[in-house]
Structure 1
Amino acid sequence: MVRKRLEGKVALVTGAGQGIGRGTCVALAKEGAMVAVAGRTESKCVAVAEEIRASGGTAIALRCDVTLRSDIEDAVSRTVRSFGGLTTVVNNAQSLRDGPLEFATEDDISLSWESGALGTFRMMQAAFPHLRENTDSCIVNFGSATAIRGSTGFGAYAMAKEAIRGLSRVAATEWGRYGIRVNVVVPHALSPAAAEFHAADPERAARVLKAVPLGRVGDPELDIGRAVVGLVSSDFGYMSGQTLMLTGGA
């Protein structure tokens, strides 16, 4: 039997109940990783975990609000107890409330910050003692093209997403000695949030799509999840501290 690329890997994915999170979990599981599907809405995570198991994969569902350190520590502990360790963390969870900067409130900024930058930091810190026990552990964090471009109406979100990229570069430098690689993925893919954006402002959505040279929106599993599989695998074993743009050339 051909050995799958990620056999022996244990991955904990946040924001995993839908969209890119779900696609990433499915892609990881198809390559042999044992996957902890973590998110705020437990029922969605249960559905994803059942989908993976129905296809022959290994997965558990975990309720995890990344704004709560207690939830994160519990998710990490349950993953380690279930699968015997932890080699991979994918920080996808992020909430936002968009709008022009002149009308943004500190509550808007706090929502993005707590769920994004601080949520990512909390998970990385909680997972670190377990990741350092392996010779090839990997963290994949999620950035955003809206932050890199400075897209109108996404100030609070951009703050959190660019903070995540800075955090990732520092972690790659400090934790490389333990064999922990840290990279960032910037995706453009179908998701519930993207669907809401398209429905709310179809003209702007059409302009965004027109600016994508490949002419389509990415698939959460095939375009984003499969790329995460590559980053997690030994194929990218010498890549750390980098940002991988998965935006169809935009």
Structure 2
Amino acid sequence: MKFKGKTFLVTGGAGGIGKGIVTALAKEGARVVFFDINEEKGKATEEEISKISECMFIKVNLMEKDDVVAGFQKVIDKYTTIHGLVNCAQASRNLPFMETTEKEFELAFGTGFWPTFHLMKLSYPHLKETQGSIVNFASGAGLKGMLTQTSYAAAKEAIRGISRVAANEWGPDNININIVCPIAASEGVAEWRQHNAEAYDQMVSAIPLRRLGDPEQDIGRVVSFLLSEDAKFMTGQTVMVDGGSVMLR
């Protein structure tokens, strides 16, 4: 129960990796607030997690800055402050480079980069007070330059860039910021597998540990560690939680 009495905000918490993070934090005693645009899944997750620890779902369209600001204010109105922020949400459309248009960039940056940027700024005064932590999500797609991932890779590398800048600027305030690059068995991957069984098998066989991560046990618990006092001397780091797919030098 290392997070007893602490409040964390997670984006994209209704399902997939985000839900895994919400679950992992709740099991450590945290109060967890999560944003998601899917109201049905959001309410169901809130009900499920509330059996473990205090949990609140707020419907937020991350593409709309005013909605992000209003959602964050609801968190502060109820809990006064926060002790950690996890920017997990991301949507994208994957197309070859020459077929990618500004619309794909608008989606990738609108759901990933811009809400991450805005929520970091909104959270700063509170995290300075609580000496809290931020975990942002990037991807091996950006590090490896994966095919058809133009807009997604760009948004994720932009998130890595601002995370490192903020880690340097906010270090004196004892706010640590780290980046996680995961591979996990999310609902989206499961759906993709149904239509791309051969590609899925090839992907898994290329992972040294020969499996995908579990959203809670593998990804959520690493995020929990990065938000904890045990990781307070880590900042600006990219942590690959991908079964060894990318081994940073």
- Aligning the two structures, in what range does the TM-score lie when normalised by the shorter sequence? over 0.9
Aligned partner (choices 176, 182, 188) of residue 183 of structure 2: 188
1:123 aligns with 2:119: yes
* TM-score, length basis structure 2: 0.95
- Is contact 1:28-1:229 (8 Å) kept? yes
Uncovered stretches (5+) of structure 2, i.e. residues with no partner: none
Question: Could you tell me which residue of structure 2 aligns to residue 5 of structure 1?
Answer: 2
Matches within 5 A, 1:50-65: 50-55=47-52, 57-65=53-61
1:46 counterpart = 2:38: no
Confirm whether residue 148 of structure 1 aligns to residue 160 of structure 2.
no
- RMSD of the TM alignment (CA)? 1.1
CA contact (8 A) 1:95 1:112 kept: yes
CA distance in 1, matches of 2:61, 2:169: 27
> How big is the shift at 1:243?
0.6
Matched, 1:213 2:208: yes
Question: Do the aligned residues in 2 keep the contact of 1:12 with 1:90 (CA within 8 Å)?
Answer: yes
Structure 2 residue 84 is the aligned partner of structure 1 residue 82:
no
Counterpart code for 1:123: L
User: Contact conserved, 1:34 with 1:83, CA < 8 A, in 2?
Assistant: no
TM-score (normalised: structure 1): 0.95
Give secondary structure in 2 for the equivalent of 1:12.
strand
Q: Supply the distance in 2 between the matched residues of 1:188 and 1:226 (Cα, whole angstroms).
A: 14
In structure 2, distance between residues paired with 1:242 and 1:225: 17
| Secondary structure class of the residue paired with 1:54 | coil
1:198-228: per-residue Cα shift (whole Å, max 9, x none)? 2232211111100111111100000000111
Matched residue SS, 1:140: strand
Deviation at 1:78, TM superposition (A): 1.3
Secondary structure (helix, strand or coil) at the match of 1:70 reads helix
The alignment status of 1:248 with 2:246, answered yes or no, reads: no
Question: What is the CA–CA distance in structure 1 between the aligned matches of 2:193 and 2:149, rounded to whole Å?
Answer: 16
Greater mean alpha carbon deviation, residues 9-18 or residues 81-90: 81-90
Q: 1:127 and 1:67 mapped to 2: Cα distance?
A: 18
Letter in 2 for 1:116: G
Per-residue Cα deviation, 1:115-165 (whole angstroms, up to 9, x for no partner): 11112111111222222211x211100011111111111111000001000
Cα deviation, residue 60, structure 1 = 0.7
How far has the Cα of 1:61 moved from its partner? 0.8
> Any stretches of 5+ residues in structure 1 without a counterpart?
none
**1:168–1:183 contact (8 Å) kept in structure 2:** yes
Letter in 1 for 2:85: V
Pick one of 201, 205, 215 that aligns with 2:196: 201
Match of 1:176 in 2: 171
Aligned residue pair count: 245
Q: 1:236 aligns with which of 231, 235, 238?
A: 231
Q: Distance in 1 between matches of 2:129 and 2:69?
A: 17
CA shift at 1:230, angstroms? 0.4
1:96-123, Cα deviation, whole Å (9 max, x unpaired): 0101001111101111111111121111
Q: CA deviation at 1:179?
A: 1.4
